[in-house]
Amino acid sequence: MRILVQSEPFDVGAETARFGKGHQNVGALVTFTGIVRNNDAGTMTAMQIEHYPGMTEKALTAIATEAQTRWELQDVLVIHRHGDLVPGEMIMMVATAARHRKAAFEAADFLMDYLKSRAPFWKREITSEGAEWVAAKDDDEEALKRW
């Protein structure tokens, strides 16, 4: 299991290759990469992402451990960036490895729902008109009820 919280960009191809290397009892690798999306008005110049070092890694490790146990995963990778990111930049990546594809997909979906709604990150949209904290969305909360 690898949990990375970093300000630096990451290379999805290199991370996927590294994650997939050496697994002999795995039948499925699932990856998901999140990208900073512009706001509905198309006016966002940056997304500021804040977190508390130590607390964030601990929370991500706990949820990744839960996913690993619940779906009998062989491996888990979570990368999440912080700092100022612009629309189009990669913000996060989740990868899961399991014997069967259903487990790998479900675990990745579970982790993404958690990252979207419960991970201790605070996001603020920066536009030419100022800055505004991003509020939780009802759809994201509903998604967590599946688990």
> Which CATH number covers residue 51?
3.90.1170.40
Q: How far apart are CA 110 and CA 41, in angstroms?
A: 29
> pLDDT digit string (tens) for 120-141?
999 999 998 999 998 877 787 7
Tell me how far apart the alpha carbons of residues 18 and 21 are, in angstroms, rounded to a whole number: 5
Q: In what order do the strands lie in the sheet with 83-85?
A: 83-85, 44-51, 121-127, 130-133
* 86 vs 37: CA distance, rounded Å: 8
Average pLDDT, integer, range 26-41: 96
pLDDT grade for 8, boundaries at 50, 70 and 90: very high
What's the Cα-to-Cα distance from 43 to each of 38, 127, 129, rounded to whole Å? 7, 6, 9
Per-residue pLDDT, 146: 82
Burial class (CB in 10 A: 0-12, 13-18, 19+), 89: middle
Supply angle C-alpha 67, 36, 57, rounded to 5: 40
- pTM to 2 decimals? 0.93
- The residue written with tokens 């939780």 in the block is 136
Q: What is the mean pLDDT of the chain?
A: 94
**Which domain does 7 fall in, by range?**
2-146
Q: How many domains are there within the chain? A: 1
